[in-house]
Amino acid sequence: MSVVPSIKERRNARKKDYDHQALVDRLLELMEEHKESFREASLASGLDHQAINRIRSGKRPSLIGCILLANHFGLDPNELILMAGWPRIKAFDIHTENAENLPPEAVEVAMAVARIQNPGERRQVSDAILMLLQKYFK
């Protein structure tokens, strides 16, 4: 089993429409957190100065573009890859915890979050849960 999507998987993904708004919203959120303009974020990611503007206008970023943006913002690359409508790259799937070692309540919450289809919404729910835990257990 390959850790990188096959050419056929990438070709099929290219044929499908993707809703660029979730990716745009996530990038805007990240740029605000980093206090960067579209140009600054594009260049800091290693992309050309208009890369994020093209994404904003609806152009799907390449797999490499997603990886570079994720690297710049310190994200799991699959988050942006999936938002851009590309197939998941298994090489980026890092399992730091084993479900067997987690309490049943934690597994239940993780499974509920994993069922959220939209990666942007899933990230927002995860962030909200973590914020609640940090405030509650200070």
For 45-103, write each residue's pLDDT tens digit.
999 999 999 999 999 999 999 999 999 998 889 899 999 998 888 888 765 556 667 77
| Report field, pTM of the whole predicted structure over 0.85 | no
Domain ranges of the chain: 7-92, 99-136
The residue among 43 and 121 whose pLDDT is bigger is: 43
Choices 1.10.3720.10, 3.40.50.620, 1.10.10.60, 1.10.260.40: CATH for 7-92: 1.10.260.40
Among candidate residues 30, 3, 44, the one with its CA nearest the CA of residue 123 = 30
Query: CB of 55 within 8 A of CB of 20?
Result: yes
User: Tokens standing for 11?
Assistant: 């070709």
